[in-house]
Structure 1
Amino acid sequence: MKKGYTHIAKQVINIEANALLGLKKTIDTSFDEAISIILNAKGKVIVTGIGKSGHIGRKIAASFASTGTPSFFLHPSEAIHGDLGMISKEDIVLAIANSGETTEIIRLIPFTKENDIPLISISSKPNSTLAQKSSVHISIGSFEEACPFNMAPTTSSLLTLAIGDAMVVSLMNGRGFNEENFAKLHPGGNIGKRLLDTVADSMKTENLPLLSENAVMTDVIYTINSGRCGLGVVGTNSCVKGIITDGDLRRAMNSSLKDFFNLTAAEVMTPNPKFISKSTKLIDAKNAMNSYKITSLLVGNEHQLDGVIQLHDINL
Structure 2
Amino acid sequence: MMNPAIQPPGRNRSAAAALKAIDVEAAAIEGVRATAIEDLPPALEILDACRGKIIISGIGKSGHIGRKMAATFASVGRPSLFVHATEALHGDSGVVGPGDVVILISNSGRTSEVCSFALMLQEWGIPRIAFTQNPDSPLGSLCDATVRLTVESEADPLNLAPTSSTTVTLVLGDALAAGLMEAAQFTADDFGARHPGGSLGARVGNHGKEGA
User: Does the pair score TM above 0.5?
Assistant: yes
Find the partner of 1:9 among 11, 18, 38. Answer: 18
1:36 aligns with 2:45: yes
Instruction: State the alpha-carbon separation in 2 of the partners of residues 191 and 158 from structure 1.
Output: 24
Instruction: State the alpha-carbon separation in 1 of the partners of residues 205 and 25 from structure 2.
Output: 37
Offset at 1:132? 1.4
Structure-2 residue corresponding to 1:131: 140
Offset at 1:6? 2.3
Structure-2 residue corresponding to 1:245: none
Structure-2 residue corresponding to 1:79: 88
Q: How does 1:236-315 map to 2 (within 5 A)?
A: 281=209, 284=210
Give the letter for the 1:52 counterpart: K
Instruction: State the alpha-carbon separation in 2 of the partners of residues 110 and 131 from structure 1.
Output: 11
Structure-1 residue corresponding to 2:178: 169
Give the letter for the 1:137 counterpart: T
1:52 aligns with 2:61: yes
Instruction: State the alpha-carbon separation in 2 of the partners of residues 140 and 76 from structure 1.
Output: 19
Runs ≥4 in structure 1, deviation > 6 angstroms? none
Find the partner of 1:141 among 141, 146, 150. Answer: 150
Structure 2: 5+ residue stretches without partners: 1-6
1:69-112 alpha-carbon deviations (Å, 9 max, x no partner): 11000011111001111100210110011000001101112221
Say which SS state the counterpart of residue 74 (structure 1) adopts.
Answer: strand
8 A contact 2:52–2:101 mirrored in 1:
yes
1:204-230 alpha-carbon deviations (Å, 9 max, x no partner): xxxxxxxxxxxxxxxxxxxxxxxxxxx
Find the partner of 1:154 among 139, 163, 174. Answer: 163
Instruction: State the alpha-carbon separation in 2 of the partners of residues 158 and 197 from structure 1.
Output: 32
Structure 1: 5+ residue stretches without partners: 199-279, 286-316
> Between Structure 1 and Structure 2, which shows a larger proportion of helix residues?
2
Identical residues among aligned pairs (%): 39
1:96 aligns with 2:105: yes
Offset at 1:148? 1.7
Give the letter for the 2:115 counterpart: I
- Cα RMSD of the aligned pairs, angstroms, is 1.5
Instruction: State the alpha-carbon separation in 2 of the partners of residues 64 and 101 from structure 1.
Output: 26
Instruction: State the alpha-carbon separation in 2 of the partners of residues 143 and 20 from structure 1.
Output: 11
1:124-156 alpha-carbon deviations (Å, 9 max, x no partner): 122210011111011122411112221110100
Structure-1 residue corresponding to 2:34: 25
Offset at 1:9? 1.8
Instruction: State the alpha-carbon separation in 2 of the partners of residues 197 and 189 from structure 1.
Output: 13
Offset at 1:173? 0.6
8 A contact 2:65–2:170 mirrored in 1:
yes
The TM-score with structure 1 as length reference comes to 0.61
Offset at 1:27? 1.5
